[in-house]
Amino acid sequence: MKHSFILKTKILRSLSHAISRDGARLVLHGFNVRQMDGFFTFTATNGMMLVSIQGPLCDAGVELDVILPPIIPKGEQVVTEIDTEAKTVTYKTAHVSTYALIDAKYPSFEKVVPAQVPAKEDCMLNLSKLEGLIKSAKAYAPKEYVFLSPNKKEVNILAIQNHPEWFGILMPASGQPDVTIPKWLKSCQSPN
C-alpha cells in the first residue's frame, strides 16, 4: 500500500539528533513513522532520549508503522511516498530519490512517555542528554522557548512554545514506566 503526503523536512532534521548511532542497535538508526490518532507521527530514540513529532493528517483507516532510513532530503517540504509492499520511501524534490525502509520492528515508545506532567521538583539532569534534546528542538523551531518539566526519576518532558505537535523526553535511568501518551499532549496537538 502507498501512502503519500507533504513532509516538512525540519521534522527529520529535528529527529536526527535523537537517532542511535550504536552499531548494536540498528533498529534505532532511522525515523519511525506510524499512524496515531489520525496523524502521521514521527519518532526517533537512541535509548537515552526520545523525540516525537506529529506530522500531517492521514486518511482514516491507515495502518502504518515503518522505519525510514536516516536520510534527510533537501528543501523545506518534500512530497513523500511510502510503499509498504515494496518497502521503500520516495522523496520527490527537483529529482526523485528512492530508499529502502529499515526492515525491522520499532520499539513501542508509548511505554516510556509519562502519563502526566510531573510536579516540579529538584532533579539532576545529564547535560549531554539534555543537549541532544535542545539541538532537536532548535532544529525544529529555532526562535521559540522550550519548557522542561523535570522530576527526580529523570523522566523529563521538553516541549516547544507554540508547537504542541513536538515533544521530547529524557528516558528514565533504569527501567521503563508502564504508561501511555499523556492526555495533555493529545488534547493540545494540532496538525502541522
What is the tens place of the pLDDT at every residue in 84-139?
Answer: 999 999 999 888 999 999 999 998 877 666 565 555 554 556 667 778 888 999 99
List 7's β-bridge partners, or say none.
Answer: 78
Whether domain 2-188 has CATH 3.10.150.10: the reply is yes
* Cα–Cα dist 144/127, whole Å: 20
Q: C-alpha angle 181/82/29, rounded to 5°?
A: 60
What is the structure's pLDDT at 125?
62
What whole-number distance in Å separates Cα of residue 96 and Cα of residue 101?
A: 16
pLDDT at 54 over 50: yes
Residues in the chain: 192
What percentage of the chain reaches a pLDDT higher than 90? 38
